[in-house]
Chains A and B, each alone.
Chain A
C-alpha cells in the first residue's frame, strides 16, 4: 500500500492536505458550534507522508492558523482552546519529523538505486559514465554536481556536470578520506575524493543554493564515493581494453592484409588464448582439423601428437607455452588428424608479444603445413633403410621382416608379407605386429583372399572395412579386427612374387604419396626376392657344377684304400675352387688335389679346365714335372682372368708289396704321410703355383709307402680353418691329429682330421678337401 501511495504525485498529496483544511474552514463557518480544530491536525500528518519537510512545515503552520481562527474565543474556556491549538501544533511537528525521516530514507533508497544502476552500466565509456553520475545526483542531492575522473595513463581528466555550476574550489587533499563542506555567497559546496584501494582517482563536487549539507549528507557521500569510484575504475579499465581493441580494429585491417600475404599460417591470440587475428592460411589449416568450429576451440578439440606419437596436451602447444613462460619456440613439429581422417604435420613457432610494461599481452604463432616434406623425408628414410636392409641377398626373408617392423612401428598395426613358394602357392611368410592375426602360414592362401586378389590382379588394393560387406575382403578384415588394409604386389617386370600388406585397427587414410612409397618398397622387395632367387640359383648351379667336378664314385683299386672329404665353406656366398680327382693313367694311380683361386661359377669353370688338363697331361706326358708344366700352360692360356691354381699330385705304382711314387706340388701344401706306426711326415715337394707364369719351378719328391702307410692330400681349407679364438687350425694341429689317428683304415684317418676340426670348433672359411690313400 505504501508503495502505491508513494507512487502518487506530490501535487495530489498537496491538494489532499489543503483540501482537508478547506473542508474544516467551510464546516467551521457553517457550523461554528462544531469544533473542527482537532481535525486540522490531519492536514500536516497527511502531507508528512509524501511531501518534503519544508512543505509539510508550511502545511502544519496553516493547520495551526486554521485551528486558532476556528476557535470560538468567547464561549470556549481558555485552557480548552490552548489544548486544541497544542494538538494541531504537535501534529504538525510530528508530520515534519516524519517527512524528514522519510526523505532521508527515500534519498538513501534513491542512492542505492543510482549506484546499482551505475555498476550495471559500468560497461559504458568513463566519459559518459561521469556525466551519468553527475546527472543522477541532481536534483536529489544537490542543485549542481561535478564529477572529475583522472585516468591513470595521464590523459586529461574526464568531467561530468549537471545542474548549477559548482564553483571552483581547492582540490581535495588526496590524503583526506572524507568530504568537506564550504559555504560562500552562492551557497554550500561539498567536495570529496573518489578512491579505489587507496588510490585517488578523482573528485566529486556538489553544490546547494538553499541549504547546507548535513552530517547525514556527508555520511551518505562517504558511503557512496567508494562505490562510484569503483564503477568509474571498472569503466576505465574496460574502456582501456576497448580502446586497445578499437585501436587494433583500426590497425586490424592492414595487419590482417599483411598476415594474409604471408605464406605461413599466422595467428595472434590474447592472453586468454582468444584469437585476435588469423590469416587465410591459418584458417585453412584449422578448418582441415576442426571444420567450422571456432578457432579457439581447435587446440582443445584436436590436441594432436608429437611426431614420436606421444599425445600433446593443450598446455604443450607452443602458443600456450609462450603465453605461460614467455619462451620463444622455434619449429616444433606436431601431428594432428584432419577431419577426413588423414594425418597432417605442422611446424609451429611462437613468440610472446609484450606490452609497454613488459607484461605478456598476446602471442603470435606461425605454422606451416610440413606434411608433404614429412612424407618425403619419411619416404626417403624408408627407401634408404629398405635399400640397406636388402643389400644382403641371401638373408632376404629376415630383412623383409625388419622392413615390416619398421613400417608397422610408424604407420600401421600389423604388417604381413605373402610370397609365392617354389610350387607357386601363395603363403604367409612374414608377420609383424599382428600377433592375433588369424593366418596359418602352413595353409595356402585361398582364392578370394585379398592377398590372392592383389597377386592375381597385380595391383595395389586399399581396403576399408564395410561391416555389412559380404566380400571376402570384408570378412578377412573383420576376422583380424582390421579397419583398413593396404596391399601392394611384390612384383617386378611383370613377375609377381607375392604381396605386402599394412593393416590398421583404426581409421587410416591411404594418402597417395604414402601408397606410392609403399609400392616402391614393394618393388624394391621384389628386386631383392629376385636377386635372392638368382643368387640361390647361381649357388645351386655352382655347387652342382663343382660336385660334377668331383669323381662320382671312388675307383676301386686293389691294394689301395681311398677315403675322401669335400666340405664347402659354411655360410660362404660362393662356392670355392677346391677339387680332387682319382684316376689311372699309364699304369699309374693318380691322386690329385687342387685349389683354384676365386669363387663362384668362374672358379668352377677353371676347375673343370684344370681337371681336364690334368687328365690329358697324365696320359700325354711322362713324369710329373712335364705333366704339371702342361697343366700350367693350359691354365695360363685358357683360364679366364688372372686365375691360377695350386695342385698336389701323386702318381703311385705298385712294386711288390709296397707302393712307390712321385709327388709334385705346385704352390700347394705338401701331402703328409701317415706311417702304419703312427708317425707323420711331410712330403718334401715344392713348386710354383700354376696359371700365372710361363716358366715354373717344380721340385718333386719320391715316396715309398709300405702296408698300412697312408698318403694324405689336403687343401689349405684345412689348415686355414679358424678357431674360435681367431687363430688358425694350422699345419701343427693337422700333424698332431694325424699322429693321434688310428691307422687301421683310410676312413679312420679321415675321421680323425674331421674330428680334430670339429673338436677345436674350427670354422672353415674356405672349402675343405681331403684325400686319403692307404696301402693295404
Chain B
C-alpha cells in the first residue's frame, strides 16, 4: 500500500500538487487544507492537481475535488485535475462529475 504523500511546487503563479497513495476520509482533509491555502493566495491563478499516482479515492476525496474546484472558480482561478487512468478516473466517471471538473490531459503535462 503506497502511503499518502503530498508534494507541491510553485512557479509563476502555477502551482502543482501531486498526490500519491490513498485519498480517503483519513487523508482528504490534508489535501483540502493544502488546496485552501493555495487558493487563499491571490497570486494563484491555476493549480494543477496531479492524481495520476493516487491509488484510491473515496467520496471524501471526491468532495475535496468538487469543493476546491468550486472555490477556485469563485476566486477566478482554475483547479485542473489530472486523474490519470486508474482508480481516480473510474471514481470520477462513476460519480459522473467529470463535466464539473477541469480535467487536464495527463499526457499534456
Contact residues of A with B, CB < 8 Å? 595, 597-599, 642-644, 646, 666-669, 686-689, 692-693, 696-697, 716, 720, 726, 728, 765-766
CB of A765 to closest CB in B, whole Å: 7
Other A-B contacts than A643-B63, A693-B97, A716-B58, 17 sampled, CB-CB below 8 A, are A597-B60, A597-B62, A598-B60, A598-B63, A599-B25, A646-B95, A667-B94, A667-B97, A668-B94, A688-B95, A688-B96, A689-B97, A692-B100, A720-B56, A726-B1, A766-B25, A766-B58
Instruction: Find the B residue at minimum CB distance from A599.
Output: B25
**Residues of B37-67 whose CB lies within 8 A of A:** 56, 58-60, 62-63, 66-67
CB of B19 to closest CB in A, whole Å: 17
Contact residues of B with A, CB < 8 Å? 1, 24-25, 56, 58-60, 62-63, 66-67, 93-97, 99-100
Which residues on the B side are within 8 Å of A599 (C-beta)? 25
Which residues on the A side are within 8 Å of B97 (C-beta)? 667, 688-689, 692-693
- Complexed CA–CA distance, A696 and B94 (Å): 13
Those 10 A-B pairs whose CB atoms lie nearest each other, nearest first:
A726-B1, A667-B95, A688-B96, A597-B59, A689-B95, A642-B67, A597-B63, A692-B66, A687-B96, A686-B96
- Complexed CA–CA distance, A642 and B63 (Å): 8
Q: Are A667 and B66 neighbours in the complex by a CB distance under 8 Å?
A: no
- Contact of A765 with B96 at beta-carbon distance under 8 Å, contacts A597-B59, A644-B59, A716-B58 already known: no
Which residues on the B side are within 8 Å of A720 (C-beta)? 56, 58
- Complexed CA–CA distance, A566 and B47 (Å): 40
Q: List 25 A-B contacts (CB under 8 A).
A: A595-B59, A597-B59, A597-B63, A598-B60, A598-B63, A599-B25, A642-B63, A642-B66, A642-B67, A643-B63, A644-B59, A646-B59, A666-B96, A667-B95, A667-B96, A669-B94, A686-B94, A689-B59, A693-B100, A696-B96, A697-B96, A720-B56, A720-B58, A766-B25, A766-B58
Which residues on the B side are within 8 Å of A598 (C-beta)? 60, 63
Which residues on the B side are within 8 Å of A765 (C-beta)? 24
- Complexed CA–CA distance, A597 and B1 (Å): 24
CB of B93 to closest CB in A, whole Å: 8
- Complexed CA–CA distance, A369 and B24 (Å): 54
CB of A230 to closest CB in B, whole Å: 85
Which residues on the A side are within 8 Å of B60 (C-beta)? 597-598
CB of A770 to closest CB in B, whole Å: 18
CB of A647 to closest CB in B, whole Å: 11
Instruction: Find the A residue at minimum CB distance from B61.
Output: A597
Which residues on the A side are within 8 Å of B96 (C-beta)? 666-667, 686-689, 696-697
CB of A646 to closest CB in B, whole Å: 7
- Contact of A644 with B63 at beta-carbon distance under 8 Å, contacts A689-B96, A726-B1 already known: yes
- Complexed CA–CA distance, A696 and B24 (Å): 24
- Complexed CA–CA distance, A598 and B62 (Å): 11
- Complexed CA–CA distance, A644 and B70 (Å): 14
- Complexed CA–CA distance, A696 and B99 (Å): 10
Which residues on the A side are within 8 Å of B58 (C-beta)? 716, 720, 766
CB of B61 to closest CB in A, whole Å: 10
Which residues on the A side are within 8 Å of B62 (C-beta)? 597, 689
- Complexed CA–CA distance, A347 and B67 (Å): 58
